[in-house]
Amino acid sequence: MIRTLLILTTLFAASAWAQDLPDGPGKPATERICTGCHGAEMFATYHKSADDWERTITTMTEKGLSISDADYATVLDYLSKSLGPLPPKVNVNKATAADLVRILKITDKQAEAIVAYRTKNGDFKDLDGVKKVDGLDAATVDGKKDNIVF
């Protein structure tokens, strides 16, 4: 009984620490190749550029990873797309119009409308507030939601 409890506790603890990789083309090959020496939790939360992932794979090959050219390309593509850099964030209550244009990729007119709206009405509390800005439609705001913070 104690042995069973110990095994179950160990399995539960291991699953609590485990990190799943995001779905995408190349995930099976990446799991097969990259988890041969360590678990996915070692890299599943990293967000790197393609160049950084390439350096990581090169470092792993220097440490003994054997990988074919085809798998190399598949893994690099998967990591670059699925665990690439996070989108930049902008605080819509503090950002300048220029920062809103640069980060959200909106027009000068839309950015100026956001600044004018918050100046007149106070800080935005959520995306629904941003959707009230004249010149911004809901689809535009929804498309930028991962870049917006309050």
The CATH number given to whatever domain includes residue 61 is 1.10.760.10
- Contacts of residue 133, defined as CB under 8 A and 6 or more positions apart, other chains included, come to 110, 113, 114, 117
Of 82, 100, 122, the domain-final residue? 82
Question: Tell me: the pLDDT tens digits for 59-88?
Answer: 999 999 999 999 999 999 999 999 999 989
- Shared-domain flag, residues 28 and 78: yes
- CA–CA distance, 34 with 19 (Å, rounded to integer): 13
Binning pLDDT at 50, 70 and 90, where does residue 8 land? very low
Phi and psi, residue 98, nearest 5°: -65, -40
Of 82, 99, 128, the domain-final residue? 82
Domain range for 135 is 90-149
* Cα of 77 vs its chain's centroid, Å: 15
Per-residue confidence (pLDDT) for residue 19, from 0 to 100: 74
Phi and psi, residue 90, nearest 5°: -140, 135
Phi and psi, residue 51, nearest 5°: -60, -40
- Shared-domain flag, residues 95 and 78: no
Predicted structure pTM score: 0.62
